[in-house]
Amino acid sequence: MNFKQQYVRYKSLVDEYLKECVKETKPKSVYQPIQYVLAGGGKRIRPLLVLLSCEAVGGKMRDALHASAGVEILHNFTLVHDDIMDHASSRRGRATIHTRWDENVAILVGDELLALAYRALLKTKSPHIQEITKAFTEGVVEVCEGQGYDKEFETRPNVSVQEYLLMIRKKTGKMVAVATEIGALIGNAKKKHLSALRRYGEYVGRAFQIQDDLLDIIADEKEFGKAIGGDLVEGKKTFLLLEGFRRAQGVDKMLLSRVMKNGGIPKREVPAYRRIYYRTDAIGAARRFVERDIANAKSELQRLPASNARTMLVWLTDMLLHRTY
Amino acid sequence: MNFKQQYVRYKSLVDEYLKECVKETKPKSVYQPIQYVLAGGGKRIRPLLVLLSCEAVGGKMRDALHASAGVEILHNFTLVHDDIMDHASSRRGRATIHTRWDENVAILVGDELLALAYRALLKTKSPHIQEITKAFTEGVVEVCEGQGYDKEFETRPNVSVQEYLLMIRKKTGKMVAVATEIGALIGNAKKKHLSALRRYGEYVGRAFQIQDDLLDIIADEKEFGKAIGGDLVEGKKTFLLLEGFRRAQGVDKMLLSRVMKNGGIPKREVPAYRRIYYRTDAIGAARRFVERDIANAKSELQRLPASNARTMLVWLTDMLLHRTY
């Protein structure tokens, strides 16, 4: 079985679990959108990391299945609430919850998803269950903090690349690190393997987010599942904008500073800004950042004993770097 | 020390904990409103029930302090999100989060409160921590379900008293029962004492909600901390509306059916509807319901060994029945 096949097999385990895990159907206003969310697909990177981290330290993958679903449900909770806050109308090519239903439904559905995430996680049988649930909870705290910074940055004219990196460490990196940490805990990892996997998660999480910023501007609209340049239109302080601003001069600097101050541009101006990102080599800088993180992530994996799961993690890391959607 | 003094002492333990428990200050957009929420007061009934239930089964009250704060923080999470969904502008005499800040802040602050609730709970040292956290999580699930029904009922012209009772069992009753259950678990309760305290919580929770419906129409506006008749204005299907509708005839029935269908009345019509509630004796029915639940709740307490904590629980139950705010 090649890596792609293994990935698909693990992914369908998670998809299956998510399809089956919610038995309730009433009230309909809550459980219809929840089924819609959980059937929404996605790459399931986070739950895969839980399963593979558990295996990579010598644990049984099946023991981590509940927790892996918990991490994925948690991720979906953040998407539902972030989409309200970002006024996003589509996600993975489908209408968002507050668009298809309404904002009240989306608030409540997000809340319930968070509870369902804990429900799945707490089915885990492990002597470390308290530590696992604590790690999960600290992940939620930091995700909220990260989203808070993200929203604050939208209306602040002066945000540094450094502040941006703090924000994405909380908003994206932390939960990826929690995914690997929880998997390792369930697999009864040695301390050094636990630390290596946590650091691996931090690198991958950061690379993932910067790659996401890149894809927002260079991806294929259909495959990406959302409108290209959405971050610019929303006035989001992405790595590209901040790094581009730092590097730009003359008219380019003036144009980028306009985005920094106004909080958004009309959609028709996206191509002009894309050209600035290329001209300032903000695109190249982002790419190099991602590549360096990916290299560091892989070298953390080398601290683990050789195993099929470790090789799968390397493959998954590469897939991440080369994804176009 | 009399009961009132004991109540104040326990309550200030909880207040103190809540004031101290959040060390983070950044991002300000998240932590300023969180401090505002946690300093907002309230009767702290739920955390008191955690502490007293632990003591009543022979445990040490201090062992349940983290969990009691967790239950109260969770309660505050529900208030912040419910206030958005209900378009409520004030709570306990102060502006709600989405009014003082904005909706995005309120969504995020609620999310973070839920995480902080788990953080506090998970500091508990107990061999039953997994069971405790599971009970807590099932509480969150049912609170969301209850709120879902509540919102569905607003736009449904035909809701029975029975459906209403299911809704409040989930929205209010369950978390009160979880409070007593968690306290009992931390105190290493015997099975029969655990069950008695859980049932006590269910009765008290239901009485509490119906009393709340009553107070919305008969309380003193200043003491109550929110506008009188707000439920009618919002078109909420309360016990009074549904029981009144069931009992009413002629013009009264027509007027109440108008509220059932339209989802709300102008504020100036509140006094007329209050008179209908008296005329149909919906007020009396609600009072009798509360009194019966309180009596049942107290008889559950009699299954516990006699103790100061048990007597305090009886006192607290009575206080609840006679509260005017």
Q: What is the ipTM of this complex?
A: 0.93
Contact A108 B147 (CB under 8 A): yes
- Sorted by sequence, the CB contacts under 8 Å of residue B193 that are 6+ apart come out as B56, B57, B184, B303, B304
Confidence of residue A225 (pLDDT cuts 50, 70, 90): low
Of the candidates B27, B114, B138, the beta carbon closest to that of A148 is on B27
Element (H, E) at A94: strand A94-95
- Sorted by sequence, the CB contacts under 8 Å of residue B163 that are 6+ apart come out as B149, B153
Q: Which amino acid is at A195?
A: S
- Average pLDDT per run of 10 along chain B, which is 325 residues long? 90 95 94 95 93 98 98 97 92 93 97 98 98 98 97 89 96 96 98 97 93 86 66 89 96 92 87 95 95 95 97 92 60
Of the candidates A28, A119, A149, the beta carbon closest to that of B27 is on A149
Q: Tell me the pairing of strands B90-91 and A94-95.
A: unpaired
Task: Look at the block and give the residue holding tokens 């004030």.
Answer: B90
Contact A148 B84 (CB under 8 A): no
Contact B133 A138 (CB under 8 A): no
State residue B325's pLDDT score: 42
Q: Rounded to whole angstroms, how far apart are CA atoms B144 and B167?
A: 10
- Sorted by sequence, the CB contacts under 8 Å of residue A288 that are 6+ apart come out as none
Residue A91 DSSP label: E
- Sorted by sequence, the CB contacts under 8 Å of residue B211 that are 6+ apart come out as B290, B320, B321, B323
Contact A112 B149 (CB under 8 A): no
Contact B148 A30 (CB under 8 A): yes
- Sorted by sequence, the CB contacts under 8 Å of residue B168 that are 6+ apart come out as B146, B205, B206, B209, B210, B239
- Sorted by sequence, the CB contacts under 8 Å of residue B190 that are 6+ apart come out as B57
Q: How near does any CA of chain A get to the CA of B88, in Å?
A: 13
For the record, the structure tokens of B202 come out as 């269910």
Q: Tell me the pairing of strands A94-95 and A90-91.
A: antiparallel
Q: Rounded to whole angstroms, how far apart are CA atoms A224 and A39?
A: 18
**At residue A325, does pLDDT exceed 50?**
no
Over the stretch A248-260, which tens digit does the pLDDT of each residue have? Answer: 999 999 999 988 8
- Rama region for A281: left / alpha / beta (φ>0; ψ in -120 to 50; rest): left
Q: Is B214 in contact with B286 (CB distance < 8 Å)? A: yes
Of the candidates A24, A119, A148, the beta carbon closest to that of B29 is on A148
- Sorted by sequence, the CB contacts under 8 Å of residue B319 that are 6+ apart come out as B7
Q: What is the mean pLDDT of residues A95-107?
A: 96
State residue B157's pLDDT score: 85
Asked whether the CA dihedral A276, A282, A287, A288 is positive or negative, the reply is: positive
Over the stretch A280-323, which tens digit does the pLDDT of each residue have? Answer: 999 999 999 999 999 999 999 999 999 999 999 999 999 887 76
Across B24-52, b (16+ Cβ under 10 Å) vs e yields: eeebebbbbbbeebbebebebbbbbbbbb
Q: Rounded to whole angstroms, how far apart are CA atoms A59 and A52?
A: 9
Q: Which amino acid is at B181?
A: E
For the record, the structure tokens of A39 come out as 């059937």
Number of cross-chain residue pairs from A and B with Cβ atoms under 8 Å apart: 120
Whether the bond between A47 and the residue before it is cis, its omega within 30 degrees of 0, is: no
Full-model pTM:
0.94
Over the stretch A212-222, which tens digit does the pLDDT of each residue have? Answer: 899 889 876 55
Of the candidates A104, A130, A145, the beta carbon closest to that of B122 is on A130
| Domains of chain A by start residue, with CATH | 3-303+310-322 (1.10.600.10)
Q: Rounded to whole angstroms, how far apart are CA atoms A87 and B199?
A: 43
Over the stretch A176-194, which tens digit does the pLDDT of each residue have? Answer: 999 999 999 999 999 999 9
Residues of chain A with C-beta less than 8 angstroms from the C-beta of B27: 145, 148-149, 152
Contact B130 A134 (CB under 8 A): no
Q: Is A153 in contact with A163 (CB distance < 8 Å)? A: yes
Burial of B127 (0-12, 13-18, 19+ CB in 10 A): exposed
- Per the model's pLDDT, the better-predicted residue between B56 and A263 turns out to be B56
Helices B174-186 and B45-56, interaxial angle, to 10°? Answer: 40
**At residue A64, does pLDDT exceed 90?**
yes
Q: Tell me how crowded residue A199 is: count the other CB atoms within 10 A of its CB.
A: 18
Q: Is B86 in contact with B234 (CB distance < 8 Å)? A: yes
* Calculated CA dihedral for residues B302, B305, B306, B309, nearest 10 degrees: -90
HEC letters along chain B: CCHHHHHHHHHHHHHHHHHHCCCCCCCHHHHHHHHHHHCCCCCCHHHHHHHHHHHHCCCCHHHHHHHHHHHHHHHHHHHHHHHHHCCCCEECCEECHHHHCCHHHHHHHHHHHHHHHHHHHCCCCCCCHHHHHHHHHHHHHHHHHHHHHHHHHHCCCCCCHHHHHHHHHHHHHHHHHHHHHHHHHHCCCCHHHHHHHHHHHHHHHHHHHHHHHHHHHHCCHHHHCCCCCHHHHHCCCCHHHHHHHHHCCHHHHHHHHHHHHHCCCCHHHHHHHHHHHHHCCHHHHHHHHHHHHHHHHHHHHCCCCCCHHHHHHHHHHHHHHHCCC
Q: Rounded to whole angstroms, how far apart are CA atoms A20 and A67?
A: 15
Beta strands in A144-219 (DSSP E): none
Q: Is A286 in contact with A313 (CB distance < 8 Å)? A: no
Asked whether the CA dihedral A111, A112, A115, A116 is positive or negative, the reply is: negative
- Sorted by sequence, the CB contacts under 8 Å of residue A126 that are 6+ apart come out as A63, A132, A185, A186
- Sorted by sequence, the CB contacts under 8 Å of residue B249 that are 6+ apart come out as none
DSSP structure string for A222-272: HHHSS-TTHHHHHT---HHHHHHHHH--HHHHHHHHHHHHHT---GGGHHH
Strand partners, A91: A94
Q: Rounded to whole angstroms, how far apart are CA atoms A34 and B140?
A: 15
Of the candidates B108, B111, B149, the beta carbon closest to that of A27 is on B149
Residues of chain B with C-beta less than 8 angstroms from the C-beta of A108: 81, 85, 144, 147-148, 151
State residue B235's pLDDT score: 83
Q: Rounded to whole angstroms, how far apart are CA atoms A217 and A226?
A: 11
Strand partners, B95: B90
Q: How high is the mean pLDDT of chain A? A: 93
Most B CBs within 10 Å, among A136, A147, A149, A159, to test the B interface: A147
Contacting A with CB below 8 Å, chain B residues are: 24, 26-30, 77, 81, 84-85, 103-105, 107-108, 110-112, 114-116, 118-119, 122, 129-130, 133-134, 137-138, 140-141, 144-145, 147-149, 151-152
